[in-house]
Amino acid sequence: MPLTPEQQAEIDDARSHTRQTIRATVPGMEAHLYKAHPVLDHGFVRVIDYMGDDQAITQAARVSYGKGTKKVTNDEGLIRYLMRHWHSTPFEMCEIKLHVKLPVFVARQWIRHRTANVNEYSARYSILDREFYIPAPDALNAQSTVNNQGRGEVLEGEEAARVLELLKADSTRAYDNYEAMLSQDGQKGLARELARMNLPANIYTQWYWKVDLHNLFHFLRLRADAHAQYEIRVYAEEMCKIVADWVPMAFGAFEDYRMGGVQLSGKAIDCVRRMLKGEEVTQETSGMSAGEWREFEEVLNGS
C-alpha cells in the first residue's frame, strides 16, 4: 500500500484543520492539499503547499499590484502570449511543494532536473521500508531494437515469469541481507550508511520537492511525453492533473504550445514551404539527416 495507516491518520488530521488567510488560494488545489495520489505499486504524489495562481502570473507580467480593470479573457490571452514567446519569469512567481514516494532508479532520473529544492529520506539515519517496485505484466518490456533508451515488445509467457521471479527474489534477498547487517536491538552491526549500499535500485525512497511553475512545466514537457520512461511518466501524468486544477489557464497554454506543439528547424520550415508550393520533397533533397527526416515525417503524419 502507498500509505501506512499512520500516514493516512496524519493526513486526515491535517485536512481536518482549516486556517484563515488573505493570500490567493485556488479551490482545486485546496482539494488536493495533503491527499496522496497513488502511483505505481507503492508510490504516491501529494501536495504539501503551493503559492500563486493564474493571476499571479499576469500580475508579475504587468508589474502591477492587483487585477486592476483587466478581464479574465485578457489574463488568458496574456498567459498564452507569454507561453507562446517562451517567457519564463512570470511563471516563476508560482511555486509548489510536493511529497513524492518513488523508486530509487526513478529518483535518479528525476534529480537531473536540478532547478528545484529537494530533501530526501535519509538511509544514513533511518531504515528503509521493505517496499520494491515490481513492474506490472504490461510494463515488462524487452529492449528496443531501434532506440537504445527505449522499450520494445512486452515480454510474455515463460520469459515474463522468469524476469518477474528474478526481480522479486533479488529484491527480497538484498533486503534480508540489509536487515541482517544492521545494528539492531542493542547488537553490534554495520552502520546504516554502509548497509544501504547493498539495496537494489527498485527500493522506494521519499522526498519533498519544491519547484516553481516554469521549471515544473519543463519537467512535465519532458517526463509526461510519450517517449519518456513509463515509471517516471506516470508520476508526471498525475502531476499534470494537479497542475490543471491549480493554474488552469497556464496549463491550457502549456498543453497547447508545449505538449501539443512542435519545434521545427530552419530546414524543416523550408521543406514545409516547398511542399505548400506543390514541390515533392524527399529526404535526399531536404538537407536533413535520415534521423531528422524520420522525425519530420512523424510530425507531418501526426505519429
Digit-coded pLDDT (tens) for 127-137: 999 999 999 88
CA angle centred on 83, ends 78 and 88, rounded to 5°: 105
Residue 19, pLDDT score = 81
Neighbours of 18 (CB within 10 A): 7
Positions marked catalytic: 223
Q: Is 125 helix (H, G, I), strand (E, B) or coil?
A: coil
**Contact of 87 with 254, CB cutoff 8 Å:** no
Neighbours of 162 (CB within 10 A): 11
Residue 277, pLDDT score = 95
- The pLDDT-based confidence of 197 (bands split at 50, 70, 90) is very high
Mean pLDDT of 206-218: 97
Q: Chain-wide mean pLDDT for the chain?
A: 90
- The pLDDT-based confidence of 219 (bands split at 50, 70, 90) is very high
Q: How far is CA 37 from CA 43, 99, 234, 237, in A?
A: 8, 10, 11, 11
Q: Which residues of 30-45 are buried (b: 16+ CB within 10 A; e: fewer)?
A: eebeeebbebbebbbb
Percent of the chain with pLDDT over 90: 68
pLDDT > 80? residue 184? no
Alpha helices for 86-156 (secondary structure H): 104-110
Mean pLDDT of 124-150: 83
CA distance 264 to 288: 12
Which of 43-52, 74-83, 186-195, 237-246 is the least confident region?
186-195
pLDDT > 50? residue 69? no
Percent of the chain with pLDDT over 70: 92
pTM of the entire predicted model: 0.87
Q: Is 117 helix (H, G, I), strand (E, B) or coil?
A: strand
Top-ranked range on mean pLDDT: pick from 93-102, 160-169, 178-187, 262-271: 93-102
